[in-house]
């Protein structure tokens, strides 16, 4: 028996403190916006080093390699052994498995989606860094694009030439805080044919750049109104071109649960799927076809309670309006499934799909047929045999809540052209029937199962000796390992048994006191005067761009020029 010991996860807790931010931006920073399980798997595969150093073994099942004249197309199945998350969806191959063929570009949102094709009501629209139009700030034209404003304000100014300049700066920060301006470029993960990269929109050149390989060429196509990206063409350094023309869409609904008056709808593209590969000399052209299941995957984010304030730009002590909203955000993601691959216009791979009961969709992978070069005769087939996590062997999946079960890959049968079984792979998992429902609160800080009885997700804390109740998010390795691959049996009859252990780290826990230290500096207030950071309360200008501080000193300036202001503080001195 061959034992492979590796690290499943790093359990550690970090406590941070900051001033209040716009809730939606901060929520999206903390809670990852969902993608389809295939998009998540492609992103992980491209980002994780497949080595024992990373703590994750290289668990891979080779399916077949399509031989080309200058470009081959390998097909394989890989397993992510970093642990099963409670809320994790199963891909079409099965939970934690990913079929590696084709490719995609997936969006990771920073702040707001850089581009979208629908938003309602119209008052919810915002300006993207893609826009070439002049930006209005505080109702006044700036005669600059948003990219220029962002570049101008990358380093917060220490002083202003005029009061108007100071006011305009803080109005700009307010527009950002109010989600009227999206200043943070999204990240785009590229993965195809063993190539992985990350793209980002460059503010200076107004083009997309590779973060990993400067020799990668990137071309995007926008819609007719130049609002959102509809396709990509990526050319790697060896001249191979990858075309991404099919899309998976995300539909967001942000509901005000108190009065329903401020519900916001937004639709944007979250992934672009590979549709064609051209080899450098066009000797090999691979095309990929998909089936679209429309809005199939749904995910609801934690609710956020907000209390509005008003007049914050004109009053150093803005007051609450008493307007309270409870924001509940739901995401629905369309899913596409690969169904066919052609090589130089001849079918080489056909993928069969079947009904699955964890998503109530015909998107489960049933088989892969490999064709001969004539594109007509089948060479061999790979049949995928599934059951479900969260069920005993004698239970019927269609009678269970989809949230309680997940697609489980039990074996792969390799068959000849006449349907004779030649060999097979087998898979066993740790306590597969004990996997919790996807909407369970029994999870640790990393989202792994911990078996703790929780009714909420926010953790219990102690402030100045006073205990505040909350969830027990501490890790429990005996629970976290549930559902992870235990044994892999090969066609030869041999097998590998995996032994897991938790990664360990030391950390110091402290009681949370009522005293916090803000990362701030003295700044010029929009009303004039120098503010002392010690008096700023919740209104300091800091790295998050909140309104200015609360010290107000009024004076008149009658002539243009540069001035130095000195003052005595309460402890004496300048």
d(CA 77, CA 457): 34
Q: What is the pLDDT of residue 63?
A: 95
Pick from 124, 103, 128, 102: nearest CA to 113:
128
Beta bridge partners of 78: 60, 98
The percent of residues above 70 in pLDDT, for the chain, comes to: 72
d(CA 296, CA 306): 30
Residue 517 has pLDDT above 80, yes or no: no
Residue 554 has pLDDT above 60, yes or no: no
Per-residue pLDDT of 449-475, as tens digits, reads: 999 999 988 888 888 788 888 999 999
d(CA 389, CA 384): 16
Which of these ranges, 70-84, 85-99, 452-466, 548-562, has the smallest mean pLDDT? 548-562
Q: What is the pLDDT of residue 365?
A: 97
Contact criterion met (CB below 8 Å) for 544 and 520? no
Q: What is the pLDDT of residue 233?
A: 98
Beta bridge partners of 383: 367, 413
Residue 514 has pLDDT above 60, yes or no: no
Q: What is the pLDDT of residue 130?
A: 92
Which residues are CB-contacts of 520 (< 8 A; sequence separation ≥ 6)? Answer: 533, 536, 540, 541, 542, 549
Render the burial of 250-261: b for 16+ CB within 10 Å, e for the rest. Answer: bbbebbbeeeee
d(CA 270, CA 465): 45
Which contiguous run of DSSP H or E holds residue 45?
A: helix 37-47
Per-residue pLDDT of 190-224, as tens digits, reads: 999 989 999 999 999 999 999 999 999 999 999 98
d(CA 126, CA 176): 9
Q: What is the pLDDT of residue 574?
A: 46
Q: What is the pLDDT of residue 545?
A: 36
Q: What is the pLDDT of residue 25?
A: 47
Per-residue pLDDT of 143-152, as tens digits, reads: 999 999 999 8
Per-residue pLDDT of 481-498, as tens digits, reads: 999 999 999 999 999 998
Tell me: cis bond preceding 432? Omega within 30 of 0 counts.
no
Residue 569 has pLDDT above 60, yes or no: no
Residue 162 has pLDDT above 80, yes or no: yes
Structure tokens at 480: 């976290």
Pick from 516, 545, 547, 550: nearest CA to 533:
550
Residue 511 has pLDDT above 60, yes or no: no
Would you tell me how many other CB atoms lie within 10 Å of the CB of residue 39?
A: 24
Contact criterion met (CB below 8 Å) for 95 and 406? yes
Residue 41 has pLDDT above 70, yes or no: no
In which residue are the tokens 């009522």 written? 514
Which region, left, alpha or beta, applies to residue 345 given φ > 0 means left and ψ of -120 to 50 means alpha? left
Return the beta strands (E) in 168-263 as ranges: 187-192, 195-202, 207-210, 217-222, 229-235, 241-256
Three-class SS state of 314? coil
Contact criterion met (CB below 8 Å) for 331 and 252? yes
Beta bridge partners of 429: 485
535: pLDDT confidence band, cut at 50, 70 and 90? Answer: very low
Residue 528 has pLDDT above 50, yes or no: no
Which residues are CB-contacts of 464 (< 8 A; sequence separation ≥ 6)? Answer: 511, 512, 513, 514
């Amino acid at each position: 028996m061959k034992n492979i010991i590796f690290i499943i996860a790093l359990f550690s807790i970090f406590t941070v403190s900051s001033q209040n931010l716009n809730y939606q931006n901060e929520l999206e920073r903390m809670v990852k916006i969902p993608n389809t399980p295939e998009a998540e798997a492609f992103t992980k595969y491209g980002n994780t080093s497949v080595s024992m150093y990373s703590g994750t073994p290289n668990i891979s099942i080779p399916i077949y390699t399509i031989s080309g004249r200058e470009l081959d197309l390998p097909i394989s199945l890989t397993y992510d052994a970093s642990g099963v998350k409670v809320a994790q969806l199963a891909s079409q191959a099965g939970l934690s498995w990913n079929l590696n063929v084709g490719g995609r570009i997936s969006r990771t949102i920073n702040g707001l989606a850089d581009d979208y094709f629908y938003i309602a009501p119209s008052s919810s629209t915002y300006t993207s860094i893609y826009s070439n139009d002049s930006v209005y700030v505080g109702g006044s034209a700036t005669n600059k694009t948003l990219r220029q404003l962002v570049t101008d304000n990358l380093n917060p100014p220490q002083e202003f030439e005029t009061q108007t300049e100071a006011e305009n700066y803080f109005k700009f920060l307010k527009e950002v805080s109010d989600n009227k301006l999206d200043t943070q470029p999204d990240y785009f993960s590229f993965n195809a044919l063993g190539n992985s990269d990350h793209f980002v929109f460059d503010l200076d050149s107004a083009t997309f750049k590779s973060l990993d390989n400067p020799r990668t060429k990137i071309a995007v196509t926008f819609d007719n109104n130049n609002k959102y990206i509809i396709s990509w063409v990526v050319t790697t350094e060896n001249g191979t071109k990858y075309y991404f023309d099919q899309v998976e869409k995300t539909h967001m609904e942000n509901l005000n649960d108190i009065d329903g008056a401020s519900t916001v709808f937004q639709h944007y593209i979250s992934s672009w799927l590979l549709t064609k590969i051209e080899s450098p000399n066009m000797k090999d052209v691979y095309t990929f076809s998909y089936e679209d299941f429309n809005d199939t995957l749904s995910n609801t984010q934690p609710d956020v309670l907000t209390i509005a304030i008003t007049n914050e730009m004109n009053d150093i002590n803005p007051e609450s309006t008493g307007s309270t909203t409870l924001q509940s955000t739901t995401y629905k993601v369309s899913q596409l499934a690969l169904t066919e691959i052609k090589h130089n216009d001849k079918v080489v791979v056909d993928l069969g799909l079947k009904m699955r009961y964890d998503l109530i969709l015909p998107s489960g992978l049933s088989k892969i047929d490999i064709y001969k070069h004539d594109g007509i005769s089948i060479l061999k087939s790979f049949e995928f045999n599934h059951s479900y996590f969260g069920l005993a062997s004698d239970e019927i999946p269609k009678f269970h809540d989809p949230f309680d079960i997940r697609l489980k890959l039990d074996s792969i049968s390799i068959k000849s052209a006449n349907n004779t079984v030649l060999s097979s792979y087998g898979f066993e998992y740790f306590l597969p029937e004990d996997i919790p429902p996807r909407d369970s609160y029994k999870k640790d800080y990393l989202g792994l199962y911990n078996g703790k009885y929780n009714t909420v997700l926010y953790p219990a804390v102690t402030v100045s000796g006073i205990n505040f109740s909350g969830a027990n998010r501490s890790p429990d390795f005996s629970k976290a390992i549930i559902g992870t691959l235990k044994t892999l049996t090969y066609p030869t009859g041999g097998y590998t048994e995996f032994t897991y252990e938790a990664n360990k780290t030391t950390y110091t826990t402290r009681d949370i006191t009522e005293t916090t230290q803000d990362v701030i500096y003295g700044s010029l207030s929009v009303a004039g005067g120098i503010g002392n950071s010690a008096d700023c309360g919740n209104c300091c200008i800091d790295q998050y761009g909140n309104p200015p501080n609360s010290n107000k000193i009024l004076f008149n300036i009658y002539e243009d020029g540069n001035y130095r202001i000195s003052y005595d503080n309460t402890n004496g001195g300048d």
